[in-house]
A and B are shown apart, each in its own frame.
Chain A
Amino acid sequence: DTAVSQTPKYLVTQMGNDKSIKCEQNLGHDTMYWYKQDSKKFLKIMFSYNNKELIINETVPNRFSPKSPDKAHLNLHINSLELGDSAVYFCASSRPGVTDTQYFGPGTRLTVL
């Protein structure tokens, strides 16, 4: 069974549209994350979230918002998509605590035209 899954795997859309990427983990983890990987493979944390706290990277535009319907899901909503949002987005999860291993999803390649 897949530990961390994301849908869709590929997302192609027009500038200005609103889109969502879904993430689910079946590991029983309390903490989930969203990362953005650019064309140079630089991986940047966007959000970390558990049932108590949302930590937002201050460089992330407020067009991006995480939404967690329950502990196993952390979806990423993006409003008014821009060309510069094109990237691969990864969801990850871990047990609570700052030192633990993170488990990554397969990624969603977003292309904004």
Chain B
Amino acid sequence: SQQGEEDPQALSIQEGENATMNCSYKTSINNLQWYRQNSGRGLVHLILIRSNEREKHSGRLRVTLDTSKKSSSLLITASRAADTASYFCATDLSGYSTLTFGKGTMLLVSP
């Protein structure tokens, strides 16, 4: 079974609003990463948070990690229409050399 589960599956907001996406996972991890996929394109890495970190920022992105709850959240502040994309969390399982992706959250930001 897959490791990461994003929630919600789809999110529709207006420009300027904040968007929050959550990811839950099942087993111990080395790190958790968030990727964005625009329609018809490949995935682009957004941010990586290590298992010993609790929060990380990158521009308008804020990621939190709660290893006790095995969950992470991605917050996009002051969203723009260009943020419309699918967002995936990926976990790097302890002892394994590959990433396991969730099913993604589809974000629609309307002007």
Contacts and interface: CB of A to CB of B under 8 A. Distances in A.
A45 B97 contact: no
Interface stretch (B12-20, B37-45, B72-80): B37-45
B68 interface: no
Contacts of B2: 42
Interface residues on B, range: 20 to 34
The DSSP consensus for interface residues of chain A is strand
A101 B106 CA distance: 22
A47 to B, nearest CB: 9
A55 interface: yes
A90 B41 CA distance: 10
Contacts of A55: 97-98
B100 A98 contact: no
13 contacts: A35-B101, A41-B86, A45-B98, A92-B42, A98-B96, A98-B97, A99-B31, A99-B48, A99-B50, A102-B43, A102-B99, A104-B35, A104-B43
Interface of A: 4, 31, 33, 35, 40-45, 48, 55, 90, 92, 98-99, 101-107
Interface of B: 2, 30-31, 33, 35, 37, 40-45, 48, 50, 86, 88, 92, 96-101, 103-104, 106
